[in-house]
Each structure stands twice: as structure tokens, then as C-alpha cells.
């Protein structure tokens, strides 16, 4: 085989060492390259105005091949300074020709070209590709995060809609809507008590077992009379006038009510305990047994002389005056008030209905849960009797009016009543009516949900916009990568061609170059 046909294979990573080992370039070539770059920087300070030069000098790195192009352009711009001997009088041309000679001395240009080629192959091109891959990953991640925000947004919207539905409002004007929905609270109470008569059998059974006819009084009252006022429950008669306390809603976030300055001087008579009788009403009599009369009972007082005290009162005639008790009291202008508080006027807590009064509602719940527990225990005991004939319960000895099936039916009715009177809407509206701060809590919760949804939507739009920007940055790197690859291939061609000339035009292959 002819020697010229034997190819020269050089690995890219070993190219610079190969050039030094073959003594094509000196070992201290870096110092010469640094001096050349200094001269290039000085020469660039004085350049003619030329479009080709401006375009050429826009490149960041100027190498030997750029210098040759600059000289060719200067031959046109500086041709007026050319002498008959072919030399140029222009300092610009002299500077760039000097730079070209320094490059060609000791094949410095080949060392610099190899250095740029290796740097592009090992660092520049992989770096741009890595950056492009990272931008693609960030774009996909931003789009994924934006898509993941749909789930919490949907959940918040569902919770917001569910809370509005429970309250029965639209959320546009909460103060007005709260007042409107609270006006329908009595109808809601009446609806929740539908079928309360079905638990009468359970009340009777509880009274029979406990031996107390007045057991579960509130439940018995609700079954017989319905959801009446507390006044009627206490006094056993309906009031003539009902003056229910006004509803106060505090919807000013973080602000106190206008009358907060006088709150310390106001007295809430509804919270003062005046003493109650067995029916829950205010006691109208005071037992004489608890009055301490001191030691007057032990003093021996004379009846005739009044204990020696001169009262200044003359003795009355001894003739008794007959009193006529048959005269009508109307003649004396005396008005007899009707029975009940304030002449039949229900005020304060007694103006509320049993299910609407905070105190009596708690007592109602206590009684209904007490009845539920009793029925469950009774059902458990009946099942134990059925499973074992040896077990006897004293509770069952004299009571056999209901079997397990009938008690289970009553229990289901009780559980249904508990569910109806304790549903979400009823509890929300009850708290809303009797707790001024609760309205503010609900409004704050609804507002927080709305703000959270808005924030999620804002974040999703920001992530989408970020994905667009990242995609644009990725697209901007395409021409950069293409230019780097083209430059590297050009440099590779120059290197292979130069080395080939030095070795009798043998084929030179730079292994591990750009693909």
C-alpha cells in the first residue's frame, strides 16, 4: 500500500498533545497566542467603517482565519495607500499583516485552531445541548405543575360551593343574605321535627322503666305542642307578645362592634341567675324559712306598753269597723295583670323557641341522645335474652311491652330525628344567629377560599407563562448550537487539511468530533 493512502487517525482529546509531540507547534505556544490576542485588541481600536468588517468583528472569538478575511477586506478599503512595490502605507494594514505573520510563525495558528476545536467539541457544544435539555425539562415541569393546580382549585371550589349551599346563600352580599336565610330558620326547625310523634312510644317506655312520669320533659313537650317558645314551656301558656332579641352580625373583619366602648357598662340580664323554680321560670316567692330575724324572738316584749316605746300614736277607738270585701276592685282603679312574665310578654331567652334557645337546645339534645342510648341498651338486653336463657335482667322482669323489632323501629325514628335536627345547615344557621363572631368566621372562611382559588389561578397562569418563556429560550439556542457546530466543522476541516499537507496529503481523520 502506498504511504499516501494510509490515513492518519487522531483522537480529538489528544490532538494538542499530538501536535506538540510531532513538533509541529512548540510547547510554549500559549504565550505566543496571548501576545497575538493583545495585538488583535489594539488593532481593533482603529478599524474603517465597513459592513463586512462590522459583521465579521461581531464574532466573539477572532482566530487566524478571521484575520485573513480582515486583511482581504482591508485590501479594498486601504488600496489608496498601496505603493508601486506592493506595500501598504496604512498602519491598519501593517498591524493586521503583523498579526498574520505572528500566527504563521511556528504554526501558532494551528495550535490555536486545535485549541478552539477541542474546546467546542468537549465543552461549548455539550454545554449548549445540556442547557437546551434543562430548558425542556423546566418547561415540562412548569406545565405539569400548572396542570396539578387544577385539582386543589376544583376541590376548593367544591368546598366553597358546598358551604354556600349549606348556608343557603350565594355569597354576593353576605350580610343581607345571612339575614334572609335566618328568617327561614323557624321553617327549618319545623321541617326537622317532622315525624317526632313516632318517638312517643320510646318516651313512654323510658318513663315506664325509670318510674318517672316527667322524664324527658322537653321531648314530651315537643311531641305534644311542637317547637313552642321557651316561655310557653315554662309557664304552660302561650305568650301574648314575643319580643325576640335582635340578630347581630359582625362581618367587619378584625373590627370590634360600634358599641364596644360601652360593652363594659352594659348588663346582660339574660345571664344573671335570679333563681329558678322547678319549671325553669323565675321564682316569685321567697321562703320565710331562710330569713334571719335575729334575736327578736327571745326578747320578752310587753304587749300593753309596746315594749316601752312611745310611737306618738293615739289609741284607736275600741269599736271595730266592719270591712266590706264585696266591693269590686275595678272601683278602686286596681288593674290585675294576667298570668305570665310581664303580662304575657316573652322576652330574652324565653322569646326563643326550644330548638332555637342555646340552653334548651342543649337540653333537647341531651334528652334525645339519652333516649337513643336507652333504646340501644334495651335492644342489647333483648338480644342477650334471646341468645341465652340463663341470663336474666331485672329490667326485663316486668316489662315486655316491646320486642326487639319494635324497639329497633323506634330507635331508627330517634336516629332520624337526631339527623334532621343536627344537620349541617341547621348547625351553621344556629351558630350564625346566636354568635356574632361566627358570621365573621364564615365570611373569613369563604373569603380565604376565594383568595386561595385566585392565588392558584394566578400561579397556574404564571407557570404557563414561565413555560412559554422557557420554550422561547430553548428556541433561541437553536441558531447558537447550529453556528457552533458549523464553526467546529469548519475548524475541523482546516486542521485536517493543514496536517494532511504536512504529511504528503495523507488522509487525516479527527476522531470524536461533532456529529
Q: For all residues of the chain together, what is the average pLDDT?
A: 79
Compute the average pLDDT of residues 440-453.
90
- pLDDT value for 252: 59
Q: Is the pLDDT of residue 260 over 60?
A: no
Q: Is the pLDDT of residue 86 over 90?
A: no
Tell me the C-alpha distance between 328 and 331, whole Å.
Answer: 6
Band of pLDDT at residue 91, cut at 50, 70 and 90: confident
228 contacts 355 by C-beta, under 8 angstroms: no
46 contacts 124 by C-beta, under 8 angstroms: no
- pLDDT value for 104: 93
- Of 7, 14, 6, 137, the closest CA to residue 513 belongs to 14
Percent of the chain with pLDDT over 90: 41
Band of pLDDT at residue 387, cut at 50, 70 and 90: low
pLDDT tens across 462-513, in order? 999 999 999 999 999 999 999 999 999 999 999 999 999 999 889 999 998 8
Band of pLDDT at residue 246, cut at 50, 70 and 90: confident
Q: Is the pLDDT of residue 286 over 70?
A: no
pLDDT tens across 128-160, in order? 999 999 999 999 999 999 999 999 999 999 999
pLDDT tens across 8-66, in order? 999 998 999 999 999 999 989 999 999 999 999 898 888 887 788 878 777 667 889 98
Q: Is the pLDDT of residue 342 over 60?
A: no
In SS3 terms, 209-245 reads as HHCCCCCCHHHHHHHHHCCCEHHHHHHCCCCCEEECC
Q: Where are the domains of the chain?
A: 8-134+496-511
Region at 168 (left for phi over 0; alpha for psi -120 to 50; beta for the rest): left
Q: Are strands 8-11 and 241-243 parallel, antiparallel or unpaired?
A: unpaired
Give the count of alpha carbons within 13 A of 198, CB side only. Answer: 16
- pLDDT value for 493: 93
Torsion of CA 382, 387, 391, 394, to 10 degrees: 10
- pLDDT value for 231: 92
Q: Is the pLDDT of residue 412 over 80?
A: yes
Q: Which residue did the predictor score with more confidence, 327 or 110?
A: 110
Band of pLDDT at residue 374, cut at 50, 70 and 90: very high
Band of pLDDT at residue 84, cut at 50, 70 and 90: low
Most confident segment among 44-48, 277-281, 308-312 = 44-48
Integer angstrom CA distances of residue 475 from 206, 470, 478, 485: 82, 9, 5, 16
Q: Is the pLDDT of residue 278 over 50?
A: no
Lowest mean pLDDT among 197-206, 241-250, 266-275, 397-406: 266-275
Q: Which residue did the predictor score with more confidence, 388 or 241?
A: 241
Q: What H or E segment, with its residue span, contains residue 8?
A: strand 8-11
pLDDT tens across 193-202, in order? 988 999 998 9
Compute the average pLDDT of residues 72-83.
80
Q: Is the pLDDT of residue 316 over 60?
A: no
Burial class (CB in 10 A: 0-12, 13-18, 19+), 36: buried
Amino acid at each position: 500500500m502506498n504511504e499516501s493512502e494510509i490515513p492518519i487517525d487522531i483522537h480529538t482529546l489528544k490532538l494538542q498533545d499530538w501536535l506538540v509531540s510531532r513538533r509541529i507547534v512548540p510547547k510554549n505556544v500559549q504565550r505566543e497566542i496571548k501576545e497575538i490576542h493583545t495585538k488583535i485588541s489594539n488593532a481593533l481600536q482603529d478599524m474603517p467603517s465597513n459592513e463586512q468588517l462590522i459583521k465579521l468583528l461581531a464574532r466573539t472569538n477572532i482566530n487566524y482565519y478571521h484575520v485573513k478575511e480582515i486583511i482581504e477586506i482591508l485590501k479594498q478599503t486601504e488600496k489608496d495607500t498601496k505603493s508601486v512595490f506592493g506595500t501598504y502605507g496604512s498602519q491598519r494594514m501593517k498591524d493586521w499583516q503583523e498579526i498574520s505573520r505572528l500566527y504563521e510563525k511556528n504554526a501558532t495558528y494551528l495550535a490555536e485552531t486545535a485549541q478552539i476545536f477541542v474546546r467546542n467539541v468537549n465543552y461549548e457544544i455539550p454545554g449548549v445541548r445540556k442547557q437546551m435539555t434543562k430548558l425542556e425539562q423546566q418547561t415540562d415541569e412548569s406545565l405539569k405543575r400548572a396542570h396539578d393546580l387544577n385539582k386543589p382549585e376544583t376541590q376548593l371550589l367544591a368546598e366553597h360551593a358546598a358551604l354556600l349551599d349549606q348556608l343557603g346563600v350565594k355569597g354576593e352580599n353576605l350580610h343581607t343574605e345571612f339575614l334572609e336565610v335566618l328568617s327561614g330558620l323557624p321553617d327549618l326547625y319545623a321541617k326537622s321535627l317532622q315525624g317526632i310523634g313516632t318517638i312517643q312510644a320510646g318516651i313512654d317506655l323510658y318513663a315506664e322503666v325509670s318510674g318517672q312520669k316527667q322524664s324527658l320533659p322537653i321531648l314530651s313537650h315537643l311531641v305534644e305542642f311542637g317547637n313552642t317558645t321557651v316561655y310557653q314551656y315554662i309557664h304552660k301558656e302561650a305568650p301574648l307578645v314575643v319580643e325576640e332579641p335582635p340578630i347581630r352580625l359582625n362581618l367587619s373583619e378584625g373590627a370590634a362592634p360600634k358599641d364596644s366602648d360601652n360593652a363594659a357598662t352594659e348588663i346582660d340580664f339574660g345571664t344573671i341567675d335570679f333563681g329558678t323554680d322547678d319549671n325553669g321560670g323565675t321564682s316569685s316567692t321567697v321562703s320565710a324559712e331562710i330569713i334571719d330575724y335575729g334575736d327578736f324572738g327571745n326578747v320578752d316584749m310587753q304587749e300593753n306598753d309596746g315594749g316601752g316605746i312611745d310611737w306618738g300614736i293615739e289609741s284607736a277607738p275600741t269599736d271595730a269597723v266592719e270591712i266590706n270585701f264585696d266591693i269590686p276592685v275595678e272601683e278602686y282603679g286596681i288593674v290585675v295583670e294576667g298570668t305570665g312574665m310581664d303580662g304575657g310578654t316573652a322576652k330574652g331567652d324565653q322569646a326563643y323557641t326550644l330548638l332555637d334557645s342555646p340552653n334548651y337546645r342543649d337540653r333537647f339534645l341531651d334528652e334525645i341522645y339519652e333516649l337513643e342510648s336507652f333504646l340501644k341498651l334495651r335492644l342489647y338486653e333483648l338480644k342477650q335474652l334471646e341468645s341465652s336463657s340463663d341470663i336474666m335482667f331485672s329490667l326485663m322482669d316486668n316489662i315486655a311491652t316491646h320486642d326487639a323489632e319494635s324497639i329497633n323501629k323506634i330507635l331508627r325514628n330517634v336516629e332520624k330525628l337526631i339527623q334532621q335536627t343536627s344537620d349541617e345547615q341547621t348547625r351553621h344557621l344556629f351558630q350564625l344567629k346566636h354568635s356574632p363572631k361566627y358570621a365573621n368566621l364564615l365570611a373569613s372562611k369563604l373569603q380565604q377560599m376565594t383568595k386561595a382559588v385566585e392565588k392558584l389561578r394566578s400561579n397556574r397562569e404564571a407557570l404557563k407563562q414561565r413555560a412559554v418563556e422557557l420554550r422561547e429560550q430553548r428556541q433561541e439556542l437553536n441558531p447558537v448550537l447550529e453556528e457552533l457546530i458549523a464553526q467546529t466543522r469548519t475548524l475541523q476541516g482546516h486542521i485536517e487539511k493543514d496536517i494532511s499537507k504536512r504529511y504528503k496529503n495523507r488522509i487525516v481523520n479527527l476522531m470524536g468530533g461533532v456529529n
